Amino acid sequence: MTAAYLTFFGLNECPFSKEIADADLWLPPSKQELVDELVAALADRESVLLVGEPGVGKTCVLRALRQRLPAQGFRLTYCHNATLGRRDFYRQLCLALGLAPSATAAALFFAVSAHVADLAGERVHPVFLLDEAHLLHQDTLEHLHILLNYQWDSRALLSLILVGLPELRDRLTLRHNRSLYSRIHRRFVVGALTPDDSAEYLRFRLHRAGCDREVFASDAVALLHEATAGALRDLDRLATAALREATRRKKRLVERDLVLRLLESEQREVTP
């Protein structure tokens, strides 16, 4: 069933859905620069840390990177199941790489390293993207640097991209994780949106969904930005709620007052 607000606002799809194609991602200069830096790091076979608060667009940056990298030359393996123990982690890595998962942890590790070395022979650079990496078990984290250590640590056969919440960086800077952290060449923070970014993002996604007229009044945008602290996932949720509410009230322009009431009613829902 089509949502009433789509018809009311003349939209051909949900504008703030997470189902957005890689090629349609919003890339303002700040995000474009980050993607460029990541491409450059991988071209240099470096490993990377990418941290940021929930919903600021970390995973979408990885998707933009996937879109940007030449298909030949890199083999990306994405893993977001970071809560696995070391053995299950290697097993998942084997599956992602199309290898038979072997029984013992040592055999799994051997299979992964041998495969990575094979790829190097084929001039394909393997990149392991570990999302939600703040959830990694300590014993998995401790072994990651071994994956980065090839031929007596003289070659970079693999790039690791660790992505997670800011506490991931805090963990990595702990003394017992220094072997891994020292092998992560570049460290980036995905920051919150600026007020202008938020306004542009709303316009961009409405445009993608087929609507080019002004839907959110500028003071409504300012309030949305303030309430979401520049996090895109929250912006998606609130903007969608605002479109629904405006439809209910038959208002073609979402004004500050409507957003304010929405925020107040959300507040009531969460405080008993």
Ligand X SMILES: Nc1ncnc2c1ncn2[C@@H]1O[C@H](COP(=O)(O)OP(=O)(O)O)[C@@H](O)[C@H]1O
**Shortest Å, Cβ 110 to ligand X:** 32
- Contact flag: residue 18 with ligand X (CB under 6 A): yes
Helices (H), the chain: 4-8, 29-43, 58-68, 86-96, 105-121, 138-147, 166-172, 178-181, 195-208, 218-228, 232-248, 256-270
- Contact flag: residue 236 with ligand X (CB under 6 A): yes
Question: Which DSSP string do the residues of 84-98 spell out, in sequence order?
Answer: S-HHHHHHHHHHHTT
**Shortest Å, Cβ 114 to ligand X:** 32
**Shortest Å, Cβ 165 to ligand X:** 8
* β-strand pairing of 159-164 with 186-189: unpaired
Among the residue ranges 37-45, 53-61, 108-116, 122-130, the one whose residues contact ligand X (CB under 6 A): 53-61
Give SS3 for 125: strand
**Shortest Å, Cβ 168 to ligand X:** 12
Give SS3 for 258: helix
Distance of CA 95 to the CA centre of its chain: 22
**Binding residue for ligand X (CB under 6 A) from 41, 48, 50, 60?**
60
Among the residue ranges 80-88, 99-107, 133-141, 230-238, the one whose residues contact ligand X (CB under 6 A): 230-238
- Contact flag: residue 54 with ligand X (CB under 6 A): yes
Listed residue (136, 144, 175) closest to 48, CA to CA: 144
Name which of 101 and 191 has its Cβ closer to ligand X.
Answer: 191
190 to 33, 59, 80, 152, 230: CA distances (angstroms): 11, 10, 18, 33, 11
Distance of CA 184 to the CA centre of its chain: 18
**Binding residue for ligand X (CB under 6 A) from 115, 233, 251, 256?**
233
Contacts with Mg ion, residue ranges (CB under 5 A): 58-59
Residue 18 interacts with, from ligand X, Mg ion, none (CB under 5-8 Å by kind) = ligand X
| Binding-site string for ligand X from residue 156 to residue 195, where x marks contact by CB under 6 A and - marks none | ----------------------------------------
**Binding residue for ligand X (CB under 6 A) from 11, 14, 20, 161?**
20
